[in-house]
Structure 1
Amino acid sequence: MSEFTVSGRYKNRDGYRAFETTIDAVNEDVAREHVLSQLGSRHGVKRTEIELEEVGE
């Protein structure tokens, strides 16, 4: 498993909020899915309200 750093922004009631998180995943696609599900769960935002800008190893 590799460590990926995912950054982007999500929509909240005040506009957009930037984020950057590090996650262990098998590949880049799995890392994207984990981040989308975690942000959606924690902040109550839909996947369409999350913009992933960069995914790097």
Structure 2
Amino acid sequence: MAQFVVSGRFQTREDKQAFERAIDAENESVAREHVFSQFGSEHGLKRMQVEIEEVRAQ
């Protein structure tokens, strides 16, 4: 497994908040799915409320 850094923004009540997460995943696609899943479970956000701007290998 490789480590990926996923960055982007998510919708809050008033504005958009920037984020950056380090994820262990098999590839970029799996890393994106993990981020969507985490924001859904932690913040109750839908996929369309999370904007992934960059996924890079570390």
Same fold? TM cut 0.5: yes
Count, aligned residues: 57
| 4+ residue runs over 6 A deviation | none
Q: What letter corresponds to residue 36 of structure 1 in structure 2?
A: F
Q: What letter corresponds to residue 14 of structure 2 in structure 1?
A: D
Q: What letter corresponds to residue 8 of structure 2 in structure 1?
A: G
TM-score normalised per structure 2: 0.95
Gaps of 5+ in 2: none
Gaps of 5+ in 1: none
What is the RMSD of the two structures over their aligned residues, measured on CA atoms?
A: 0.5
Give the % identical residues: 58
Aligned to 1:19: 19
Q: What letter corresponds to residue 51 of structure 1 in structure 2?
A: E
Shift of 1:14: 1.7
TM-score normalised per structure 1: 0.96
Q: How does 1:1-57 map to 2 (within 5 A)?
A: 1-57=1-57
